[in-house]
A and B are shown apart, each in its own frame.
Chain A
């Protein structure tokens, strides 16, 4: 079974440009999450999709970030315009509908974004 995949693995852009990250979850996983790790600090939650619906977007930093999951399959995360502080590693994760108390999320390898 294929794991969570992310594209690109690395992206280097200049401040003010636009970047779109893509995530393909594990087949059959209705839950899809975006996280970000900045400068070796903790991994921070950005948002959570259940199928194509945004369940929780409380971690999105500001309106420069737009996440979509059309059709409930893959997801994209667009940053427009990018700022220096957006640099970091963006992780996508997916999980099945969890039974109460069970919440194992499977992570992709991440996209390393560098904004110059």
Chain B
């Protein structure tokens, strides 16, 4: 059973605008959440993370929001740049459990 879901397989956004990627999870034991970015023929690269004790974490143009009651998190990219075009994976892990559970990914295309 898939415990992390990214229901939007793709997102197209104009350069300079905001990209919002969504992720839902079902396992209430998850306490750490990560976003990874993946270019073709490369491995996923860590982007940003958030612990369950927080509801927001910001790093430059990237902000992750966590809503524990809704079991939902989102990644905001502002402003979007052409180099942001990639597949974005949401991932989660539970306390004392090192394995990551991933969503299926969202392909972001930033239009010039």
Contacts and interface: CB of A to CB of B under 8 A. Distances in A.
Contact of A105 (B51, B95, B100, B103): B100
Contacts of A93: 43
A105 B93 CA distance: 11
Nearest to B42: A109
Interface residues of A, number: 30
Contacts of A102: 32, 49
A108 B36 CA distance: 13
Contacts of A108: 43
Given A43-B100, A56-B98, 11 more contacts: A42-B105, A43-B102, A55-B98, A59-B99, A100-B96, A101-B31, A101-B51, A102-B32, A108-B43, A109-B43, A110-B42
Interface of B: 2, 4, 31-32, 34, 36, 41-46, 49, 51, 53, 89, 91, 93, 95-105
